[in-house]
C-alpha cells in the first residue's frame, strides 16, 4: 500500500487508545490506601504489554486479507476508529460507577488488561489498512512499541492520579480518547478521498 501512517499519527493513535487504560488505572489507584512504585509498575506493565500485543494480533489477521480489502481499507480504518471512539465517549458520559478493585493479582490484572486492550486489536486492523511498514518508521514493531510505551507510562501516572485525586478526571480522559480516535479516523478517510492533503 502506498499510504503511510506518520509518527505523529501513531503518537495520537497511541494517546487515544491509552485513555481507556489510563481511566482504569485511576480506578486502581483509588481502590488502595497508598500507592508505591510496585503498584504503578504492575499496572503499567500489564496494560502496556497488552496494549502493544493486541494491535500486533489485529495487524497480522488483517494483513492476511490485504489484497481483498485494498479498495475499502480507508473506510475500514474510519469505521473501526469511529466505533472505538464512540464507545469510549459513551462510557465517559455514562452515569454508571465502576466498582474499584484493590487487587493487583494476576487474575485481576489479566482481566483488566484484556478488557482495556480489545479496542487496540481493532486499531491494529487499522494499522494494516494504512501501512506503517516503510523503513523510516521501522514498521509495525515500532508502531506497537509506541502504543505500549505510551500506555505503560500513562497507566503508571493514572494509578498515582487516581490515588491522590480520586477518579475526578476518569471520564474526561475517556471522552478525550474517544474524540481523538474519531478525528484520526476521519482524517485517514478524508486524506484517502483526496479532500485533505497533509
What does the pLDDT look like over 58-74, one tens digit per residue? Answer: 888 877 776 676 677 67
Which of the four pLDDT bands, split at 50, 70 and 90, describes residue 1?
Answer: very low
pLDDT at 97: 58
Cα–Cα distance for residue pair 23/99, rounded to 1 Å: 13
22-40 pLDDT, tens digit each:
988 888 888 777 888 998 9
pLDDT of 100 strictly over 80: no
pLDDT at 17: 85
Mean of all residue pLDDT scores within the chain: 79
179-196 pLDDT, tens digit each:
888 888 888 788 777 776
146-162 pLDDT, tens digit each:
999 999 999 999 999 88
C-alpha cell at 183: 478525528
Three-class SS state of 73: helix
C-alpha cell at 186: 476521519
Q: Which residues contact 182 (CB under 8 A, 6 or more apart)?
A: 81, 82, 85, 86, 89
Q: Whose CA is closest to 184, among 71, 46, 15?
A: 15
State pTM to two decimals. Answer: 0.73
Cα–Cα distance for residue pair 149/155, rounded to 1 Å: 10
Three-class SS state of 94: coil
> 166's torsion region: left (phi>0), alpha (psi -120 to 50) or beta?
left
Q: Which residues contact 127 (CB under 8 A, 6 or more apart)?
A: 5, 55, 58, 59, 140, 143
Cα–Cα distance for residue pair 57/40, rounded to 1 Å: 26
Longest distance between any two alpha carbons in the chain, whole Å: 53
For residues 40 and 107, the answer to whether their CB atoms sit within 8 Å is no
Number of Cβ within a 10 Å radius of residue 103: 12
pLDDT of 168 strictly over 50: yes
129-141 pLDDT, tens digit each:
665 544 344 577 8
Amino acid at each position: 500500500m502506498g499510504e503511510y501512517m506518520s509518527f505523529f499519527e501513531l503518537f495520537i493513535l497511541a494517546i487515544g487508545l491509552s485513555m481507556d487504560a489510563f481511566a482504569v488505572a485511576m480506578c486502581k489507584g483509588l481502590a488502595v490506601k497508598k500507592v508505591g512504585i510496585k503498584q504503578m509498575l504492575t499496572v503499567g506493565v500489564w496494560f502496556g504489554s497488552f496494549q502493544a500485543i493486541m494491535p500486533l494480533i489485529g495487524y497480522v489477521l488483517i494483513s492476511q486479507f490485504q489484497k481483498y480489502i485494498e479498495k475499502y481499507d480507508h473506510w475500514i480504518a474510519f469505521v473501526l476508529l469511529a466505533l472505538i471512539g464512540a464507545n469510549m465517549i459513551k462510557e465517559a458520559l455514562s452515569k454508571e460507577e465502576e466498582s474499584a478493585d484493590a487487587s493487583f493479582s494476576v487474575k485481576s490484572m489479566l482481566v483488566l488488561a484484556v478488557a482495556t486492550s480489545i479496542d487496540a486489536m481493532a486499531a491494529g486492523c487499522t494499522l494494516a489498512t494504512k501501512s506503517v511498514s516503510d523503513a523510516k518508521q521501522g514498521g509495525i514493531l515500532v508502531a506497537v512499541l509506541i502504543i505500549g510505551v505510551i500506555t505503560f507510562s500513562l497507566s503508571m501516572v493514572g494509578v498515582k492520579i487516581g490515588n491522590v485525586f480520586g477518579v475526578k478526571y476518569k471520564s474526561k480522559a475517556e471522552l478525550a480518547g474517544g474524540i481523538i480516535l474519531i478525528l484520526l479516523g476521519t482524517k485517514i478517510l478524508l486524506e484517502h478521498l483526496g479532500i485533505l492533503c497533509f
